Structure 1
């Protein structure tokens, strides 16, 4: 690694350190916003990447990119599911990259062209993404030769930098002038060395003959792009999270809470923000659960109504197999309507009961966090930093539960909390709800077997009835399997519920 560093001029290294320093500031901003834990961020003076030098050579990486990889900040966290990116997202929804690992280095060299058929989309040796690539999120792409950066999204047609000039695709002229002035100051006393580096760049260009998308990618000075991202987080133009960040990091949840608790000021109360965030997620979950159950019930009724209309509109006489299929579908849809009605009655959210339902949901989420903490402690590969994070999550949800309890006591005086199912108290599914569902499924399957047998018995012995007879018999076979399956699942649920009630 020393030879790599010695091959670069002071000015080249200064530019790369600017990128690394601003990337670190982005990570630290996400930690201040309580999305990351500060202790996860690792930024020593230089990471030792000596073991990866053969890989870098085989990939023909530019020394500037290799050096940048050695000074970037990375996140160190032994996650229970093995992958940090399974729960956290970088800017734009991209995955956090760690170029200390071979897999991330190789992934960074993959073409942005999903088919891999267009050589013009391959990255130049001096160009690298700074986060995981993908079609559906934004990725920072850095050109170490020109010291420029693009915010790229393949799905949305390329560069997604809102500050790029719509005509030139190269940003505002003023910011390029500012960047050049900064570079002029840095270059004083180093002109001869920079001329040598320019000659090297010319040699690079002579070696490149094939046209490449990235040679003319819309970009701005790298420092400006990274400083803008930091500013966007400060101004809440950007919110932490993404596809893996979970609902709790959605804009509608966290944006008003950041403002409430003083972001981005020095007095931002991160602990209070996290408690309010947990309470807001609980309230939204209860509200949206009620909406979803009503939507599901309406959808099932609409499907049944549409099916009945289609049946009634058929004026010509149907064949026996068509008659069987139409009636089978009617019975099936009526069954799904009954299940939706049962679910709605069991968990119907009356407006006056909402504080109690929020308390129930807060207790369920607290149980889930406690269960995850205990599970993590039993996994040898899980690091202490994750255990500490899980302990903080439990403490946050304990405070959220206390806040929901106080709210329920204030708005529903004298009313006891809703009894928590033994399954949901650890964040799992409701045993009572599952047993009710399996019971309904068992009864329906038994009724279908009896109905199909009676229907077969009344069929005439004719060639036209054979197809209908086979359809009905296949349905009997399937329903008999459903009877066994629902009975077994119901018995397992009952045993597990009794075990948990007994503290087993």
Structure 2
């Protein structure tokens, strides 16, 4: 009797174990991108992605980018895995690329941060490839220990791209730390590390940045969010952001505060004040002598009306292009540009209305 029971138990265990083994094997083989990243590590990566999203949402709240330009994760990037493998990306970096929020710069209407380069989208394989050399050092030797070797380890990735010089956010997924490094000074530009001594390089690799000060990733990203909220950092100042977002041209901090930033912010009123300030600057810059009073009000109104006309012409042009465009990809780009241009028309219409009300 005992022998029969033992045989039955062995048979039952074998019956259950075989399909379970097959099930376990299928799970492990199903998604190497996800399964090779430990849960605790994934939690840290998600925290980075969440904070990047908060930063982007803050920029939208500040009326710097259009909310439609924020593309939330996760993203299906299975078609990029072989290309990522060719770049020798660590599984943690691949996973991060699948969950990061990205900015569609056309739909957002802007392409750059303040202080920390331009928006990056690592679903674009060219940007992912440039992420292996974010400072355009063009290493000529193959090994990390070489004098002119590569300097971005497989588990390190930029979170922003360089743009026209400036700084880049670099994230180490293993140590969960972030550097803010300036290309030209090859030193930190993290405001929290101002005055903090930079160590002497110890690596033979002249491209190494390991000696440059860094901080815990979450602390850096939370501080960036705080710097925007406190207006220590103001959006704009990039190569393509225009005079409307030039802190050396317009009193943007003053305009934000006058319109209730951050707790009772009236974004519509801020945009009107911004465009009116822009026109006043243009007038003062063009005139040989300072103008004021009724003359300034009249010139400001004319400037706003002129800018409104330009914006409407852009909308009309894009609508015409959309009617004749056959390529789906180009059509989507045109529609995004149209949405941004229509928003610009709306802002100038409100600005003209405000200027007209004051002139009467």
What is the TM-score of this pair, normalised by structure 2? Answer: 0.78
Distance 1:370 1:349, change over 3 A: farther
Q: 1:371 aligns with which of 313, 319, 325?
A: 313
Aligned to 1:8: 37
8 A contact 2:198–2:211 mirrored in 1: no
Deviation for aligned residue 1:111:
5.3
Residue by residue, what CA displacement relative to the aligned partner does 1:140-181 show, whole Å, maximum 9, x if unpaired?
A: 1111111100111112332111212745559xxxxxxxxxxx
Aligned to 1:103: 126
Q: 1:264 aligns with which of 256, 262, 265?
A: 262
Q: 1:393 aligns with which of 341, 344, 355?
A: 344
- How far apart are the structure 2 equivalents of 1:268 and 1:254? 14
Aligned to 2:252: 254
Pairwise CA RMSD:
2.5
Residue by residue, what CA displacement relative to the aligned partner does 1:115-143 show, whole Å, maximum 9, x if unpaired?
A: 54563452111111111124622211111
Residue by residue, what CA displacement relative to the aligned partner does 1:386-427 show, whole Å, maximum 9, x if unpaired?
A: 433322211110111122223334xxxxxxxxxxxxxxxxxx
Once the two structures are superposed, the pairs formed by residues 225-244 of structure 1 within 5 Å of their partners are 225-243=220-238, 244=240
Number of residues of Structure 1 aligned to a counterpart in Structure 2: 309
Distance 1:385 1:210, change over 3 A: closer
Does the alignment pair 1:161 with 2:159? no
- How far apart are the structure 1 equivalents of 2:205 and 2:353? 64
Deviation for aligned residue 1:9:
0.9
Deviation for aligned residue 1:114:
3.9
- How far apart are the structure 1 equivalents of 2:128 and 2:153? 14
Aligned to 2:153: 124
Once the two structures are superposed, the pairs formed by residues 50-449 of structure 1 within 5 Å of their partners are 50-76=78-104, 78=106, 87-92=110-115, 94-110=117-133, 112=135, 114=137, 116-117=139-140, 119-120=148-149, 122-134=151-163, 136-164=165-193, 166-167=195-196, 169=198, 213-243=208-238, 244-251=240-247, 252-265=250-263, 267-290=264-287, 294=288, 350-351=291-292, 353-380=295-322, 381=331, 382-409=333-360
**Hey, which of these two has a bigger chunk of helix by percent?**
1
Structure 2 unaligned blocks of 5 or more: 1-29, 141-146, 323-330
Larger radius of gyration: 1
Aligned to 1:28: 57
Aligned to 1:502: none
What is the TM-score of this pair, normalised by structure 1? Answer: 0.57
Q: Secondary structure at the match of 1:388?
A: helix
Deviation for aligned residue 1:41:
1.0
8 A contact 2:187–2:198 mirrored in 1: no
Structure 1 unaligned blocks of 5 or more: 171-207, 295-347, 410-504
Q: Secondary structure at the match of 2:179?
A: strand
